[in-house]
Structure formats: structure tokens, C-alpha cells
Chain A
Amino acid sequence: MWKFFHQMASPPHFYRIAAKMIPWFMAPALMLIAYGVYAGLFLAPMDYQQGDAFRIIYVHVPSAYLSMMTYMVMAISAGIGLIWRIKLAHAVAAAAAPLGAWFTFLALATGSIWGKPMWGTWWEWGDPRLTSELIMLFLYIGYMALRGAIDDTTKADRASAVLALVGAVNVPIIHFSVEWWSSLHQGPTLIKEGGPAMDPGMLYPLLAMIFGFTLLFGGLLLRRLRAEVLFRERRTKWVKELVLSGGK
């Protein structure tokens, strides 16, 4: 087990293995998402309160879940990099941030579009779920801006890791905001006492979308990570040999 992790932390080994792993993430991701989109749009029964507008859940929930999960991946990787000084961990955090920012943007945009017909407004500043999710977008942007502002990679890794760790406090706030405070946003649907409060016909496409998006994130992260590793290792012998051999 430790040998596996040790090998994976080695940039040249990781770079080669990641290329082989990407299709194993992307292919099932696309299949699950294709099923989820079709079943979510056309097979799932209509919601008795929200009508067909509820179908936005099939893109909104996976995006919102990934916005938080990506932040945790980023913060944990940054923490590992900071404590154990594993270079690859910092590369994971750096590669995850733009993906997290995109998924957070999607969660906010689809939530806002869903809010208009259901709540009668695009945005409500007093709502804790909306505001804390917006803070998460600012944290991602701040993390990337901080990295971009420091030329020295080691210094950028350390400074941005501290920001990532401090910002992690926002993740439980987002998750529990609908329980802690009065909110326009509906309460938990999937993770709640007594199991999910959804018809199986609605639930299975949603689960397919969540798993599909998670695998998609894995594939995208690996792809970004390969570029990040290559950039960080650009002056090493193995990269020179790789490029001279035509990338094989």
C-alpha cells in the first residue's frame, strides 16, 4: 500500500500512470451522465410542486456537491503538501482550483436560474446558502490569484495552501447553512435521516449524475495534473527524455 503511494508521489511515474487512468474515468463518466441527462429530462416523473422546473436538480446538485468536494480535495492536498512537503500534493491543489471554481460558478448560476421561477428572484443576499456558496467562489478565485501573483512555485504553494486551509471552514457552513439558519433554499434531500426524500424514478438519474460528475472531475483533474506536473518538472532529466522521445 505504502509502496503504491510512494510510487504515485513520484512525478514521472504519476505522469505516465495518469495518462492511462484518464479513459477509465472519462468513459464511465460519460455513460453515467448520458443516462442521467436522458432519464432526468424525459423519464423522471414531474415534481408535484415545482413541475418540470425541478429537472434543474440534475445539473445543480452535482455541481454544488462537486464545488464542495473539490474544495476539500484542494484543502487536504494543500495541507499534505504543507506538512509533509510532498510536491505532488501542491500540484493536486493547484490543478483542482480552476475546476472547483467552474463547478461553483455552475452551482450558483443554475441555482439562480432555478430560483427565478420558484422563489420569484434570481438572487437573495440574505440567504445563507447562496451567500456562503458565493464566498466559496471568491475563495477559489483568491487562491488562483494568489498563486498567479507569486512567481516562485514553492512560495506560491505555501501561501496558497494556508489560504486553502483557512477557507475550508466555509465547507461545513455551506452544507449545514440550510439547517442552522432560515433559508429560501430547500433542506437536505439526499443525506437525511430516514433516507432520501425522493421517488426512485427521480433519485436514480440524480445518483447517476452525481457519480458521473465525480468521475468526470477525476478525469479532468488527472488531465490538469499532468500539465501541472510537466510544468513543475520542466527542467528535470526525465521531462527532457520524455520530450526527446516524442512524449512516449
Chain B
Amino acid sequence: MTFMGWVFLGVSLTCVWGLTIWCYAKVLRLPPEEIAQEPQDFSSA
């Protein structure tokens, strides 16, 4: 494993783990969801 190999591995893993953790942290901090409002459905039209 070369130095650049470690760099690419490290940067790639940081990117995907960082993005995933940031996204889930955001989602988890969201306010509680609204009560479901039934959508219209035209399959019976």
C-alpha cells in the first residue's frame, strides 16, 4: 500500500462516512413528524 493509496482510502472513507453521519444527524434532529394526511388516489377514477 503506497502513501497515495492510504490518502485515497482515507479521503474516500472520510467523505462517505462524513456525509452519512452528517445526513443522519440532521434527520435525527428534525422535529417530530406531522400526523399523516391522506392523499387523494385516482386509481379508482
Q: Do A and B bind each other?
A: no
Q: Which residues of A contact B (CB under 8 A)?
A: none
Q: Which residues of B contact A (CB under 8 A)?
A: none
